[in-house]
Amino acid sequence: MRKWVLGVVAAGLMAGPAAAAETPPFVFTGIPDQDESRLVERFGKVANYLEQTLGVPVRYIPVKNYPAAVTAFTNGQVQLAWFGGFTGVQARKAVPGSRAIAQGAEDAAFKNYVIANTRLGLEKGPDFPKATAGKTFSFGARASTSGRLMPEHFIRQAFPGKTPEEVYSRVGFSGDHSRTIQLVQSGAFEVGAVDYSVWDLDTKAGRVDASAVTVIWESPTFPDYQWTVRGDVDATYGQGFTEKLRQALLDLKDPAILAPFGRSRFIAVTNEAYAPLVDVGRSTGLLD
């Protein structure tokens, strides 16, 4: 009898870890559009919330740049990603069956700012600032929606038949929006394009010197950031998991989690909402 009980206990001890191992951690990432400390704060809180809500281990992994986020999603290293509008388009194109499931309430009608060093003496106006021609210009990341794709589109509209390299004396890519602000603020670049929400967050954090850098143009709106999930997650985590994940994001109301995103809440979205970015990507030659 005693041997039988010990056998059952031993079997139970072995079954626990084995059972846990059957469900791998649910892993996600996000494009590095701001400084690393803010990203860790933002996504660490999301990981804790999703783990408690979904009932599976959840892990956030950082990536070095925008293409790395798309690659991690494409090769299955992550199952979920907080993408910009354009990186989401790229990822879903590479992984058939993947879905945009939620976006910030602010992302349905997003915008970018054109900012300038105050030494130029440029003032904010309703039209794209053509007086920036001949200056030095910094985009954000090469695959950024509000830091590259849409600003390039607006530049091409303002200067028909010309590329940004033909309009400006020097064109650079900072890698993220916070860095663009700092480059223009320091005078390393005279003009730049940034995500308006990062500008607002950095301003609130005291990182923007209004005497050195200012907004000179606000763009028309376009769809931007979203959560995109791979189409195979239900096969791994159980039928209905994608819907449970989507609902968890829509139900997220904690200001402490939402504030680092610069978002008030998440709302439902579909792949079709990003069709305008597909058109812009093709027209600018940034999407095949």
pLDDT of 61-95, one tens digit each?
A: 999 999 999 999 999 999 999 999 999 999 999 99
288 belongs to a structural domain: no
Question: Which of 104, 105, 135, 109 is closest to 120 using CA atoms?
Answer: 135
Residues 201 and 227 in one domain: no
pLDDT tens digits, one per residue of 271-288: 999 999 999 999 999 998
Domain boundary among 195, 218, 241: 218
- What mean pLDDT comes out for the span 5-22? 41
283 belongs to a structural domain: no
DSSP for 159-193, written as a single string: STT--HHHHSSEEEE-SSHHHHHHHHHHTSSSEEE
282 belongs to a structural domain: no
Supply the pLDDT for residue 200.
Answer: 95
Is the pLDDT reported for residue 270 higher than 90?
yes
Supply the pLDDT for residue 40.
Answer: 86
Is the pLDDT reported for residue 104 higher than 60?
yes
Residues 70 and 157 in one domain: no
Is the pLDDT reported for residue 223 higher than 60?
yes
Residues 26 and 96 in one domain: yes
Residues 104 and 6 in one domain: yes
Structure tokens, 238? 């159980």
- What mean pLDDT comes out for the span 217-227? 97
Is the pLDDT reported for residue 5 higher than 80?
no
208 belongs to a structural domain: yes
254 belongs to a structural domain: yes
Residues 207 and 176 in one domain: yes
Is the pLDDT reported for residue 17 higher than 50?
no
**Which sign, positive or negative, has the C-alpha torsion 229, 231, 232, 237?**
positive
- What mean pLDDT comes out for the span 204-224? 97
Residues 265 and 179 in one domain: no
User: What's the chain's average pLDDT?
Assistant: 92
Residues 155 and 191 in one domain: yes
Domain boundary among 194, 218, 242: 218
263 belongs to a structural domain: yes
**Structural domain total, the chain:** 2
Angle CA(39)–CA(45)–CA(51) in degrees, nearest 5? 130
63 belongs to a structural domain: yes
Q: Report pTM.
A: 0.87
Between the alpha carbon of residue 55 and those of residues 102, 116, 238, 267, the distances in Å are 20, 47, 12, 22
Residues 126 and 213 in one domain: yes
Is the pLDDT reported for residue 36 higher than 90?
no
- What mean pLDDT comes out for the span 148-176? 97
Supply the pLDDT for residue 13.
Answer: 37
180 belongs to a structural domain: yes
pLDDT range class, residue 21, cuts 50, 70, 90: low
Residues 103 and 227 in one domain: yes
Supply the pLDDT for residue 19.
Answer: 42
Residues 161 and 95 in one domain: no
Residue that wins the pLDDT comparison between 25 and 42: 25
Residues 42 and 69 in one domain: yes
Domain membership of residue 189 as a residue range: 111-218
Is the pLDDT reported for residue 34 higher than 80?
no
CATH number of the domain encompassing residue 174: 3.40.190.10
- What mean pLDDT comes out for the span 132-139? 98
pLDDT range class, residue 33, cuts 50, 70, 90: confident
Residues 131 and 183 in one domain: yes
Domain boundary among 218, 246, 262: 218
The percent of residues in the chain predicted with pLDDT above 70, rounded, is 93
